Structure 1
Amino acid sequence: MRILIAGAGEVGFHLAKDLAMEGQDIVLIDPDRHRLEHASNTLDIKTVEGDATCPNTLSKAGVSGASLLVAATNLEARNMTICTIGKQLGVKRTIARISNLEHLRNKQNIDYQALGIDIMISPTELAALEILRLVEHSSFTDHYIFGDNALHLVGIRLASTSSYVGHPLMDMRESGDVRFIPVSIKRGTETLIPQGNTILEVEDFVYFVCITEALDKVASLDGIDQVDTERVMVLGGSRIGARAAELLSKEFFTKLVEIDRDKAVRLTDELPNTLILNGDGRNVEFLEEEDISATDLFIAVTGQTETNIMSCLVAKSKGVKKTIALVENIDYMNFSQAVGVDTMLNKKLIAANSIFRFVRKGSVVSVASIHGVDAEVLEFEVSEKSKVINKPIRELNIPAGAIIGGVIRKGIGKVTLGDFIILPDDHVVVFTMPDNMDKVERFFR
């Protein structure tokens, strides 16, 4: 599959890297020679130097007959123009990265496909929805749902009070409880595929696939008393902050702190269900005056990564139970646990992962990326030609670095062990390290 990516920034580079791992024919287009040199020296891809809004540049990249053109530059108008021109030149499908949510809200009134834009991806909207999901399931560091609430991927952080610290992983499954299965451990910056005899340590992040009925049980394993989220504070009236506050205020008492007075006044009109505060969220006295200690969850989404991290640490020191920080540098994602922030988000990484699911090979119906973990969780629909059917999982020779966590059969979630037999039409949830994605997908073609 030939895929053209316009824009060698963080979104484009991350997308090119993941797709190149799968053996896709990738062409990365950018006017910046240094960016392209870095990409070509790092990845097994082709590069074309030039402006992707120019037909000659797209033709040189092989746009005619290409399977997909992804316009992922920083400029919305440029991305939409690239898609329009690319479609005229013969690409089969286009995806545009956008920033203005008005385009998503007007899809019913405007035929964007007639303009050559098949799919629009908004990093702002995706990040806001991700924040909402994390707040709704605040007992976990991560929570993804597969099927119609049939299976869940959840993460917990082991506190020193957890009775399982210092014990082998197998002890978590008391009395043969088969409602959940561990699929990964994040320890420092290292991602581990767990074995039954793996000894658990304080501050381990343990990830499970489980059925709905086991969510409370898994949440109790971390050694921390669970408290319902009621009060949320958002720092930063950016597009992401405003959109997140708009979504959160429908379910939680939400405060939004904005340092710019004019913007705070405007947000007061735009967000009638959110309490807007004009102040400096880096100021400890200000946060104490706004009763930060009574806040259940603190979200920092200003344009400054350092501000977001430091304010989360201050909130933690004042008793806030969970913190979320927006960071610009993708490399920071691996260090969220080490610095004390519960979850770090990068909107460009979220956007790249969202685009990624549109170009998966095999019968992939959904994909999830765990924050700060260099791995993917894929949901496959099993066909009658698949190599995984009609034999026990232990006999499948699934590559090392991958694990089948569960199956959805006729809408019912099932946690899988070695003797489980996969059938046609099952939906299979697989955790895999990046190097194994292509091998894993071959099992399900």
Structure 2
Amino acid sequence: MRIIIAGAGEVGFHIAKLLAYEEQDIILIDRDKEKLDYVSSHLDVATIKGSSTSLKVLQEAMVQKADLVISATSTEETNIATAIIAKNLGAKRTVARIENIEYLHKKDILDLKTIGIDEIISPESLAAKEIDRLLKEAALTDSFDFSSGMLSMIGLSIQEDSVLHNKTIAEASSLDPYQNFVTVAILRNNETIIPRGNNQFRKDDHAYFIVCPDVIDKLITLTGNESFQIKNVMILGGSKVGINAAKRLSKKYNVKLVERDKDKAFELADQLKQTLVINGDGRDIELLEEEGIEEMDAFVAVTGNSETNIISCLVAKKHGVRKTISLVENIDYIQISQDIGVDTMINKKLIAANFIFRYIRKGQVLSLTSIHGVDAEVLEFEVQENSKITRHELKDLNFPAAAVIGGVIRRGEGYVTLGNFQFKPKDRVVVLARPNCIRKVESYFN
């Protein structure tokens, strides 16, 4: 594929980085020479200095041969214009990053495809959606549903009193005679392990499972965790992420939002009718105590300062809050989140990059997600009539060792796949794979 990325910031750089393991024809466009020099020194991609709205620049990038143009600069107007111009110059597909979420809500009315924009994405809206997903169950460090919950991927920490502690993967599977879960990854000391039968669970491991829906509570118990429903949520920061999160969460939970700026707090109080907006400095521990932080089940810190968000989450933990989520700008922080006591750290640009990345995947990819801090992707493929994966039973497929098939959805039911499983056309298969073997995994589904 020939892919043109406008914008060498974090979103554009991360997309290009995800493609570094594959034989894709990538061109990165940016006005900033220093950013392009950084990209060139770290990634094997072509770069062009200039504006992505320039006809000359786009023609130099041979936009007429582009399979995909991703406009991910920091300026909404530039992204919209780039997508429109690129489409009219012959690009097959365009994606534009936007800030105004009204475009998302009015997509059908606006009919953006008629002017050349195939897809729009808002990092702030996606981050709010991610927060909503992470608050489903307090015990889970991560959660993602496939096919409306027919199968789920969940993350759980292994506690010292867990019955899984010091057991191998093979021994753990014997605890479930119906084979309704499979371990697909273990995060240990910031190292990602794609487990095999002889790998052991250890205390403080963060283990990730593909499960059938009725097994989640059992796995929570097996890992030594306690199931807990969230009712009360405190959000720190009236940022765009905070506003979007409050709108989503207030439909299900009792939500308080703390905003330091007085004028903005009054404005948000008018805008967020179902949310209790408090004017105050969230770094003030006395204020948090006065506003009942000890009664909160979840604390979500989304101010514009990563350090404030992290420290506030640690304060919340100290006051007994069960679930904490911190928005961070530095992607490297995500690797250390659970080690320092924050349940989950999210980066809105990384979330946006992963969302865009699904347009690049091959083999009828239905959904794609990443696990926070884990060096792997989770993909859902649809099996085609002549797909390689249908030729043999799973144990005889010679499937890549750096990947694991977690389960399959067949005719509306989810199943965990064992060695004697035979895949059929129309099956929806959930796979976890390291970036360097995704291309090989895709070949099984083409």
> Which TM class, normalised by the smaller chain length?
over 0.9
Equivalent residue, structure 2, for 1:305:
306
3-state SS, counterpart of residue 70 of structure 2: strand
The question of whether the paired residues in 1 share the 8 Å contact of 2:139 and 2:226 is answered with no
Matches of 1:269 and 1:369 in 2, distance apart? 36
Equivalent residue, structure 1, for 2:278:
277
The question of whether the paired residues in 2 share the 8 Å contact of 1:79 and 1:98 is answered with yes
The question of whether the paired residues in 2 share the 8 Å contact of 1:370 and 1:376 is answered with yes
Matches of 1:312 and 1:160 in 2, distance apart? 23
Is 2:92 the counterpart of 1:92? yes
Runs of at least 4 residues off by over 3 Å: none
Matches of 1:426 and 1:115 in 2, distance apart? 36
Matches of 2:16 and 2:217 in 1, distance apart? 39
Equivalent residue, structure 2, for 1:6:
6
Equivalent residue, structure 2, for 1:437:
438
RMSD over aligned CA atoms reads 1.2
Structure 1 residues 382 and 69: alpha-carbon distance in aligned structure 2, compared to 1, 3 A threshold: same
Q: Which deviates more, 166-175 or 356-365?
A: 166-175
Q: Which amino acid letter does the alignment assign opposite residue 331 of structure 1? A: D
Residue by residue, what CA displacement relative to the aligned partner does 1:23-71 show, whole Å, maximum 9, x if unpaired? Answer: 2111100111121122122222111111111110111111012111110
Equivalent residue, structure 1, for 2:383:
382
Q: Which amino acid letter does the alignment assign opposite residue 310 of structure 2? A: I
Q: Tell me by how many angstroms 1:328 deviates.
A: 0.3
Matches of 1:123 and 1:324 in 2, distance apart? 16
Matches of 2:43 and 2:222 in 1, distance apart? 40
Matches of 2:3 and 2:213 in 1, distance apart? 38
Equivalent residue, structure 1, for 2:256:
255
Matches of 1:175 and 1:131 in 2, distance apart? 31
Percent of matched pairs sharing the same residue: 50
Q: Which deviates more, 352-361 or 170-179?
A: 170-179
Equivalent residue, structure 1, for 2:232:
231
Q: Which deviates more, 302-311 or 21-30?
A: 21-30
The question of whether the paired residues in 1 share the 8 Å contact of 2:137 and 2:228 is answered with no
Q: Tell me by how many angstroms 1:161 deviates.
A: 3.0
Matches of 2:408 and 2:225 in 1, distance apart? 29
- Structure 1 segment 42-53 matched on structure 2, within 5 A: 42-53=42-53
3-state SS, counterpart of residue 194 of structure 1: coil
Q: Tell me by how many angstroms 1:167 deviates.
A: 2.8
Matches of 2:225 and 2:428 in 1, distance apart? 33
Residue by residue, what CA displacement relative to the aligned partner does 1:4-23 show, whole Å, maximum 9, x if unpaired? Answer: 00000000010111123222
What TM-score, normalized to structure 1? 0.98
Equivalent residue, structure 1, for 2:40:
40
Equivalent residue, structure 2, for 1:190:
191
Q: Which amino acid letter does the alignment assign opposite residue 96 of structure 2? A: A
Matches of 1:427 and 1:24 in 2, distance apart? 26
Aligned length: 445
Equivalent residue, structure 2, for 1:392:
393
Q: Tell me by how many angstroms 1:176 deviates.
A: 3.0
Matches of 1:372 and 1:135 in 2, distance apart? 18
Is 2:25 the counterpart of 1:25? yes
Q: Which amino acid letter does the alignment assign opposite residue 109 of structure 2? A: N
Equivalent residue, structure 2, for 1:113:
113
Matches of 1:13 and 1:406 in 2, distance apart? 32
Equivalent residue, structure 1, for 2:220:
219
Q: Tell me by how many angstroms 1:271 deviates.
A: 0.4
Q: Tell me by how many angstroms 1:175 deviates.
A: 5.0
The question of whether the paired residues in 1 share the 8 Å contact of 2:139 and 2:225 is answered with no
Residue by residue, what CA displacement relative to the aligned partner does 1:210-247 show, whole Å, maximum 9, x if unpaired? Answer: 11111111122231222211101000000110110111
Residue by residue, what CA displacement relative to the aligned partner does 1:350-398 show, whole Å, maximum 9, x if unpaired? Answer: 0000000112112211111111111001111111211111421111111
3-state SS, counterpart of residue 228 of structure 2: coil
The question of whether the paired residues in 1 share the 8 Å contact of 2:68 and 2:91 is answered with yes
The question of whether the paired residues in 2 share the 8 Å contact of 1:390 and 1:423 is answered with no
Equivalent residue, structure 1, for 2:317:
316
Q: Which amino acid letter does the alignment assign opposite residue 415 of structure 1? A: V
Equivalent residue, structure 1, for 2:167:
167
Q: Tell me by how many angstroms 1:116 deviates.
A: 1.7
Equivalent residue, structure 2, for 1:123:
123
Residue by residue, what CA displacement relative to the aligned partner does 1:60-113 show, whole Å, maximum 9, x if unpaired? Answer: 111012111110000101111111111221111111000011111222322322
Q: Which amino acid letter does the alignment assign opposite residue 271 of structure 2? A: E
Q: Which amino acid letter does the alignment assign opposite residue 344 of structure 1? A: M
Q: Which amino acid letter does the alignment assign opposite residue 294 of structure 1? A: E
Structure 1 residues 236 and 74: alpha-carbon distance in aligned structure 2, compared to 1, 3 A threshold: same
Is 2:329 the counterpart of 1:359? no
Equivalent residue, structure 1, for 2:147:
147
3-state SS, counterpart of residue 82 of structure 1: helix
Residue by residue, what CA displacement relative to the aligned partner does 1:99-142 show, whole Å, maximum 9, x if unpaired? Answer: 01111122232232222211101001101111111112333111
